[in-house]
Structure 1
């Protein structure tokens, strides 16, 4: 169970997240963080991971994340940043082994987990290749494998499909969804693709400007009205021939920039 209560983050005087509180997130949940650029998706992921200063309360299974030891945090939380694993002479297997051992696994446990995760993600052929030999998309898959081999209670994934083609986007979210449901884990992923969120997420956090936040199911929150208000687009939500809901964006709505800059009164 994940509890987030009154979480706030700022960059200097600029408030990105203002007193964000979510209903308790239960094990088995795949939560999509949605919103326009600058709404705070990555900031929320980073704050939960403990790499971005914040105020408020974040608790995992009743234990405040900020009070966990470094060892417990590595065991309980796995964070995948937008930044891809750096190209180097390090072999993929060595990178994954380091992640597993960091989570406290024995050598035998680490080997079994690396083999299982690599097979699920279809990256077994990459295990003995150097990171410098991999494409950006392949390195993103390796980064995801790093988070999964740790078997953490909470996965924090910042745009895990951004460097991937269509096949691998589907593969990633299929594997993550299957993992959280089977193991009763929790995963939060920042995403710009509304159709992926509609298809895979069990819950949605919709972030807007100035710290606005709404939570609910994809069907409840991804609506034409919400898309217009949050993204500034005229859009529809329809069903494809396979029965999946899809967002069809028809037009970007205009913004009166001159009105925004217009003086509000004498002397302004």
Structure 2
């Protein structure tokens, strides 16, 4: 039995439109994988298919078996809580399969630990409806983490966060993957954060996998020009990782093209 996530010719169609096309990749556990690509590349659709939320063709196997939706921690792109629940109540709902009608000391301790790790412990009794978008996003991430899934799928889970919190969350996710042996997939637009924190990157364009590898292998100047249609410089930071410096929209691209 092969460990990890195996995608074999995965395809998603909506009507006559192909959103994801014959996508194949092999991802090993204990790593944070950044899913990158321009708007409309198919990132959200691919992650939804892996999580079991979107019908697909082809094969998706986790540790040699079909993906069990109940065992996946999935956080879609548009996710919010409008019910009058406290932060702690929302967090404990992540363990509702185990809790039943009883909340034990271990559950409360686990919730307190995760809230503390995300700097949210002071918000435990606050209603979710009083939080900012970024605070809600972190609470919903904590709700997924408290279940300790071995396959964690996050669609732009840092989009509403400021830079400090983005870095903190990505550091936490990378540590979680290493500590638990989980595979964490996260769709992210910031190429420099992806390069800095992810163990590997998957670059998508028009529903297809363009490249998969380290940040140095994926974030090349030709790929950035071709896929993102921008002029850029690719520099190196002190650790040798690539740093993408955008200079402007390329002659081949336009704002209307990028929005599609």
Normalised TM-score (structure 1): 0.87
Larger relative helix fraction: 1
Q: Which residue of 2 aligns with 1:100?
A: 95
Q: 1:10 aligns with which of 10, 13, 27?
A: 13
Cα RMSD for the two superposed structures: 2.0
Look at both structures and tell me which one has the larger radius of gyration over its CA atoms: 1
Shift of 1:243: 5.4
Measure the CA separation in 1 of the matches of 2:241 and 2:13: 37
Q: Deviations over 1:188-217 (max 9, x none)?
A: 000110000000010111101253432111
Measure the CA separation in 2 of the matches of 1:94 and 1:104: 12
Q: Which residue of 2 aligns with 1:234?
A: 231
Q: Which runs of 5+ in 2 are unaligned?
A: none
* Structure 2 CA distance for partners of 1:210 and 1:88, relative to 1, 3 Å: closer
Normalised TM-score (structure 2): 0.90
Is this contact kept in 2: 1:101–1:107, CA < 8 A?
no
Shift of 1:167: 0.9
Is this contact kept in 1: 2:215–2:241, CA < 8 A?
no
Measure the CA separation in 2 of the matches of 1:44 and 1:256: 25
Is this contact kept in 1: 2:229–2:253, CA < 8 A?
no
Runs of 4+ off more than 6 Å? none
Measure the CA separation in 2 of the matches of 1:218 and 1:88: 40
Shift of 1:241: 5.3
Matched residues, number: 250
Shift of 1:84: 3.0
Secondary structure, aligned partner of 1:175: helix
Secondary structure, aligned partner of 2:94: helix
Would you say 1:214 and 2:228 are equivalent positions? no
